[in-house]
């Protein structure tokens, strides 16, 4: 069964460093998402991406964040200058369509720790 994959599974970085989190969505999906979950809290929407551009973003997704689909398979989230509060689990998700009926399938997550 096709699935969303994410690398790395864990990343430790120093405050102020840039990190890139990578995702390979399900191959026939057209809509891509990033979410984050701070430890012990609920999952929060960051950004959605379609047709090589951002379609919606939350207030969390400020200028320090960017997303890119550099080739036909990868979807990346970049944090330019990490802060301590960026420590969280980051989930990538994808769906075939943006209709309410379409399930978003989540990857296994990247656990980011900023020191």
- Cβ closer to other proteins: 68 or 102? 102
Q: How far is the CB of 29 from other proteins (least distance, A)?
A: 14
* Residue indicated by tokens 């057209």: 30
Query: Count of residues binding other proteins (CB under 8 A)?
Result: 27
Among 44, 60, 66, 96, binds other proteins (CB under 8 A): 44
Q: What is the 3-state secondary structure (H, E, C) of the chain?
A: CCCCEEECCEEEECCCCCEEEEEECCCCCCEEEEEEECCCCCCEEEEEEECCEEEEECCCCCCCEEEECCCCCCEEEEECCCCHHHCEEEEEEEECCCCCCCCCEECCCEEEEEC
Task: Please identify, among the stretches 21-29, 30-38, 60-68, 69-77, the one whose residues bind other proteins according to the rule CB under 8 A.
Answer: 30-38
User: Taking CB under 8 A as the rule, does residue 113 contact other proteins?
Assistant: no
Task: Please identify, among the stretches 17-25, 67-75, 80-88, 99-107, the one whose residues bind other proteins according to the rule CB under 8 A.
Answer: 99-107
Q: Report angle CA 13, 39, 45 to the nearest 5 degrees.
A: 90
d(CA 56, CA 84): 25
Q: How far is the CB of 3 from other proteins (least distance, A)?
A: 10
User: Taking CB under 8 A as the rule, does residue 53 contact other proteins?
Assistant: no
Binding site for other proteins (CB under 8 A): 31, 33, 35, 41-45, 48, 55-56, 58, 89, 91, 93, 98, 100-109, 111
């Amino acid at each position: 069964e096709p699935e969303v994959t994410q690398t790395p599974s864990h990343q430790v970085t120093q405050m102020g460093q840039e990190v890139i989190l990578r995702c390979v969505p399900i191959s026939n999906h057209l809509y891509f998402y990033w979410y984050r979950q701070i430890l012990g809290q609920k999952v929060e929407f960051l950004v959605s991406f379609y047709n090589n551009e951002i379609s919606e973003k939350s207030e969390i997704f400020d200028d320090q964040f960017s997303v890119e689909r550099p080739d036909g398979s990868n979807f990346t989230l970049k944090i330019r200058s990490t802060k301590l509060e960026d420590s969280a689990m980051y989930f990538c998700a994808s769906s075939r369509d943006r209709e309410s009926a379409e399930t978003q399938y989540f990857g296994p997550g990247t656990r980011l720790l900023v020191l």
